[in-house]
Amino acid sequence: MVQTLRRRDFLKGSAAFVGAAAAGFTCVEVAGAAPVEVPVVDKLTMWVLIDSSHDLFFRPTEVNGVSVRPAPRPKDFRQILHNQWGLSLFLQSVRANETRSTMLDFGYSPEALLNNIDITGVDPGRLDALIVSHGHYDHFGGLLGFLNRYRPALPADIKLYAGGEDNFCHRVQATGTQGQFTDFGVLDRRELASQKVTTVLCETPTVIAGHVFTTGKIKRTSVERVLPNTLVEFAMKDGLGCDASHYAPAELQGKIVPDEHLHEHATCFHLTDRGLVVISSCGHVGIVNSVRQAQEVSGVQKVHA
């Protein structure tokens, strides 16, 4: 079980956080820093809800013990899976007679996500937890539309597990014109609070729903380097954005700087007799770094997938 601290205690004395609390969202927890006991599961099934492409003529196959099946054909021939830049996965794990379901990332748009949920037939009503890997719009853009549709079917105490405060920073992209930027969105915790979704900041490894574990902040020990494809604003404005007072140098407060994805985390499972499944989502901090972090956190060296 993961101990949690109320964020107001964790950031006590932070003027920026007091301002944020006054703006109306206090449904935030911080995962405890104590070592986690990584759970073991017997089976993992992953539905790809959103990805950049799919093959209509794909046939079932098996690769190194991983069974891969195509999505079902829609009952209505006029409906088809929507592809888009982004990712969303529905994860179902089994241990003995216990089943848990989690959703990792939410694609770029709710229209594509909701369409593909209908086609794949996954049941959001069975979800135990929600996870967002990092603060890029193509991984959280469909979240609020998903909640608008399915919030009544979700558990009353459903939580969204994010890698850390950095996930809520406003991001922009350079236009090619010196000093000019285009908006790349921000995950709005005010909207999450209005949907009665509690956010848990997982800067340290965290066990979720008793089956899943996250890596926490990923160490950068390999030759891999982050390529800053967006820029990030370390600021809170009218309750929107991130309070970077506890992790970013003071001179960066309010500045727009190259994005280092400080709180991107990987989602992992430990499969009985097989080893680790490490889901990096985008893996901006590097797949080798992500896998090494999962190995360190779990104490398991064998990687299954």
Classify strands 231-233 and 212-214 as parallel, antiparallel or unpaired: unpaired
What would be the CATH architecture of the domain defined by 4-298? Answer: 4-Layer Sandwich (3.60)
The overall average pLDDT reported for the chain is 88
- Write down the pTM of the prediction: 0.89
Q: What is the pLDDT of residue 12?
A: 35
Query: Which range scores top for mean pLDDT: 23-27, 173-177, 222-226?
Result: 222-226
Q: What is the pLDDT of residue 158?
A: 97
Q: Specify which residues 177 forms β-bridges with.
A: none
Classify strands 212-214 and 61-63 as parallel, antiparallel or unpaired: unpaired
Q: In whole angstroms, what is the distance from residue 4 CA to residue 6 CA?
A: 7
Q: What is the pLDDT of residue 265?
A: 97
Mean of pLDDT values over 153-182: 90
Q: In whole angstroms, what is the distance from residue 13 CA to residue 15 CA?
A: 6
pLDDT tens digits, one per residue of 17-42: 333 333 444 467 788 767 789 999 99
Q: What is the pLDDT of residue 294?
A: 97
Q: Categorize the per-residue pLDDT at 81 as very low, low, confident or very high, splitting at 50, 70 and 90.
A: very high
Q: In whole angstroms, what is the distance from residue 262 CA to residue 70 CA?
A: 35
Q: Categorize the per-residue pLDDT at 221 as very low, low, confident or very high, splitting at 50, 70 and 90.
A: very high
pLDDT(1) > 50: no
Does residue 181 or residue 26 have the better pLDDT? 181
Task: Please state, for a pLDDT cut of 90, what percent of the chain lies above it.
Answer: 71
